Amino acid sequence: MNLPYLQMENRLNTGNKNFTAMMEFVLLGFSDIPNIQWILFGIFLVIYLTILICNSIIILVTKIEPALQTPMYFFLSNFSFLEICYVTVTIPRMLMDLVTQKGNISLLACATQMCFVYILGGSECLLLTVMAYDRYVAICNPLHYPLVMNHKVCVQLVTASWVSGVPVMVGQTCQVFSLPFCGSNTINHFFCDIPPLLRIACGDTFVNEIAVYVVAVIFIMVPFLLIVVSYAKIISSILKLSSARGRAKAFSTCSSHLIVVFLFYGTGTIAYLQPKPHQSEGTGKLISLFYTILIPTLNPIIYTLRNKDITMALKNLATKFLR
């Protein structure tokens, strides 16, 4: 497949060097395997619809089922909505590229997509930390739980999760797109991401790479460590319970969240904290595919299959509709 390499012919004089100002990039996506483009389109379309439907059902059931009107499910409904937004930033664009077999994306659209991917990804990290804190208060301080996790506090925590990363991610996006891009305008990825963009940037990208590590530490490692500390205290409290049934119930309320945490943070750490020379473009694309598409597909399944309250609420909802 011939991919266009469109560039603006204005020459920008920078010292003694002439740079071509890129006005358009080309996302290679999965063009290296052209024989299965329509198969991939079908797979990703089914995945996208699954994510939309499953997360929408979780949001619906947590809103209308009285037994799920608790902070834990308030956070889960927000997490489900966040997942819908997160995949909508990347998958529709990827589906369009698979149909047209063209990966042309303007510089502004590329910057916008990257900015939203990082804002929503950062929000997801923070919201997972808030959900761990909620479980910590519920299990370690059950008598104070209604007071500590009142509705106002829950709304404030969710709002902070959504907006805290906005200035940082916008700043990082501006920093990356202030770099001069020369030579090839081809991005070997299925969405605009920082690592592949830095590979085609001209000049020294050391400062940008350090910025990626710093932001990754702030939004991946710090929240992950807070979650680990929370669960260390949670597990310690659970083990002190005298009732085996009580221990099993406490573990069941945390297991779904723990699985999601390790899947999301594990792939995020590999993608953004692994030194650049040790990660090939193909590996980076595969890891990105995992945490941007496959994990959001698994999350609602993990939460519904391993959560008896949601399973029961879904059964009640189905019964009402079938009457």
Cα–Cα distances in angstroms (integers) from residue 115 to residues 23, 34, 120, 165, in the given order: 17, 29, 9, 10
**Domain boundaries, given as residue ranges, for the chain:** 23-308
Q: Could you read off the pLDDT of 228-271 as tens digits, one per residue?
A: 999 999 999 988 887 788 788 777 778 888 888 888 888 777 77
Instruction: Find tokens 């990827």 and name the residue.
Output: 94
User: Would you say 144 and 137 are in contact if contact means Cβ atoms under 8 Å apart?
Assistant: yes
Evaluate whether the domain defined by 23-308 bears CATH number 1.20.1070.10. yes
Q: Could you read off the pLDDT of 59-99 as tens digits, one per residue?
A: 999 998 888 999 999 999 999 999 999 999 999 999 999 99
Q: Which two tokens stand for residue 48?
A: 């996208």
Range from 19-33, 88-102, 303-317 that averages highest in pLDDT = 88-102
In whole angstroms, what is the distance from residue 214 CA to residue 83 CA?
Answer: 24
Task: Give every CB contact of residue 74 below 8 A, 6+ residues apart in sequence.
Answer: 62, 151, 154, 158
In whole angstroms, what is the distance from residue 119 CA to residue 169 CA?
Answer: 6
Confidence (pTM)? 0.87
The beta strand positions in the chain, using DSSP E, are 11-14, 17-20, 24-27, 104-106, 186-187
